[in-house]
Chain A
Amino acid sequence: MNQQNLFVKGNEALARGAMAAGMDCYFGYPITPQNDIPEFLSIEMPKAGKQFLQAESEVAAINMVLGACATGKLSMTSSSSPGVSLMQEGISYLAGAQLPGVIVNVSRGGPGIGDLGASQSDYFQATRGGGHGDYRTLVIAPSTAQESFDMAIEAFRLAFKYRNPVLMLTDAIIGHVKESIVAYTPEPIDTKAGDWCLGFDRDAKGRHLHSQCLTKHQPLAPHTILLKEKYEKMQEEVLFEEYLTDDADFVVVAYGSIARVLKNTIDNLRNAGHKIGLFRPITLYPFPSSALQKLATGNRRFMTIEQNLGQMVEDVRLAIAGTSESAFYGQLPGTIANPDDFYLPVLDTYKGEQ
């Protein structure tokens, strides 16, 4: 495996991961804090003989992805929260037509224009579909630059495995922190190019139609069952990390940049003799409910920490319902979390419930 040590921002790591996966087409529109991604790709994609295009809007960008995906090419767009809101219609069409697009959300604060700082307030939008209709997107939430690289490759692999849109949810911290990564060339993505691709060997295979129009020939009910079965199969792709949970009688649940900061908090709490661990979902859909259920034994208690008013905590509480409960602490958006910010909130909750 061809390896390279690099010192790069998380955004660039993600863009490099997408290129390592073999990305053919990128379409995007400028928005902070994700601009490093299109800027890097505007240089590197043409060099590699690949397509880079700055679209006139996020609405156009996601629909360009829709077109490129329909030909079976590895296609991606990236944006940040308000821009991803604009893309929801196109994501719904990708889900309906079962096309393998990758959408990156380097999220920022909201609602409305919000601010440019880190925030995790797009959890609901990311994991509940976001657009209209009964569909799911796979959602991956890296917490480091290395994971941004690795998970960009995984995003394309999953997109083609399930022919489904895959969302990468990072934030201003993950995107802008510069750190060491090991870049590499992975095994080529199996796109399963075939009769689902427009323009693919048409004479031999007949026509390819990506339609959601309801007619007597294509009713929605069987299509919905097909999607349901696909979403059930996706559950096996669940990814998570457990940190010092084996002997813990209190588990903090967090994802992305907040989870990363919390590792230091938990090290400090451990040094003070408190048996506290961390559970970090890496895939937010599918959510690692079974793994959380397995942890919710004995008197083990939970606390969910997010940089929002409480979104993922609903999934945590559903997962452990009947066996345990989860407290919640919300870091305010637009701030950069420090390990000390969480020390007392975690300790107070831990002690208060003992």
Chain B
Amino acid sequence: MSQTITPTKWTGVPTHYCPGCHHGIAHQMVARVLDDLGLAKDTLLASSIGCSGLGYYYIDFDSVESPHGRAPAVATGLKRARPDKTVFTYQGDGDLASIGMGEIMHAAMRGEKITVIFVNNAIYGMTGGQMAPTTMSGQVTSTTPLGRNPELTGYPAKIAEMVAAFDGCAFSSRVALNNIKHIKKAEKAVKKAFELQKENKGFTLVEFLSTCPSGWKLSPLQANDYIETNMIPNFPLGTFKDTEV
């Protein structure tokens, strides 16, 4: 586990995230892992659109802002231009699994040597809690006021399983951030993903099941429970691809 408490790339800027949101945990985790691996100063970030779009104010990596959903393509450009650097995207479920479904699948298919940090909270947070492609059946959002009806809008996308199906994918894992046990496992997965990128093994992705207390209209503690009771049954935790196993 981590030897450092505050990651070197942590700017200390107070975040704009809501109380109980897991973005802060995820940001720190990525920054800490890159410190542990000695990669932090040689890492480039393709940021995305959504709540985490301002993440580069909190984790101080060289960053380029990507249009909505296009971070895997931007990261492809970064990596092809600078194969000596570690490159990652940090995307939410609307960005990655809705508007950006094409780019993420093709980056995985090509075996692009990047790491994707996918934060899945089953809702559009920044725009006010609308239905996401990962919204669960029956889940109430501002655009599914009666709950998501699969007859009308289908079923949630299972991204970690989907990218694992590509031969170009070296590592794909789904983790959660709702308790210490899960956080420790998550950090191991993130570390593995970046290690495999540095070994040029292929595309790597870690999907975080993460809270959106404001969008879910739950308290921070209730939101942590909601991950256990609602999200994990819909999105099973586990590693779906590991080329080293």
Contacts and interface: CB of A to CB of B under 8 A. Distances in A.
A93 B67 CA distance: 7
Interface string B153-167: 000000000000000
A59 B65 contact: no
Nearest to B53: A213
Nearest to B49: A213
Max chain B CB contacts within 10 Å: which of A61, A67, A97? A67
B133 to A, nearest CB: 18
Contacts of B29: none
Max chain B CB contacts within 10 Å: which of A27, A64, A215? A64
B97 interface: no
15 contacts: A27-B77, A56-B103, A64-B73, A64-B76, A66-B66, A66-B70, A70-B74, A70-B77, A71-B78, A199-B44, A207-B61, A207-B62, A211-B63, A213-B53, A215-B54
A209 B46 contact: no
> Mostly helix, strand, loop or mixed at chain A's interface?
mixed
Interface string A65-96: 11111110101000000000000011001000
Interface string B3-38: 000000000000000000000000000000000000
A93 B65 CA distance: 8
B131 interface: no
A60 B64 CA distance: 15
Max chain A CB contacts within 10 Å: which of B42, B44, B60? B44
Contacts of B65: 93, 97, 210-213
Contacts of B66: 63, 66-67, 93
Contacts of A70: 64, 74, 77-78
A209 B42 contact: no
A57 to B, nearest CB: 6
A235 interface: no
B81 to A, nearest CB: 4
Contacts of A89: 67
A241 B77 CA distance: 37
B85 interface: yes
Contacts of A215: 54, 57
A63 B77 contact: yes
A56 to B, nearest CB: 4
A209 B9 CA distance: 14
Interface residues of B, number: 32
A202 interface: yes
Nearest to B57: A215
A191 interface: no
A71 B74 contact: no
A71 B75 CA distance: 11
A60 B102 contact: yes
Interface in A30-79: 51, 53, 55-57, 59-61, 63-71, 73, 75
A71 B82 contact: yes
B217 interface: no
A24 interface: yes
B194 interface: no
Given A60-B102, A63-B66, A70-B64, 10 more contacts: A51-B80, A55-B73, A60-B103, A66-B67, A71-B77, A198-B63, A199-B85, A208-B62, A208-B63, A211-B63
A198 B64 contact: yes
Contacts of B85: 199
Contacts of B185: none
Nearest to A73: B81
Contact of A63 (B53, B62, B63, B74): B74
A240 to B, nearest CB: 34
B74 to A, nearest CB: 4
Nearest to B106: A56
B41 interface: yes
Contact of B80 (A53, A57, A59, A213): A53
B150 to A, nearest CB: 28
A203 interface: yes
Given A56-B106, A202-B41, A63 B82 contact: no
Contacts of A73: 81-82
B208 interface: no
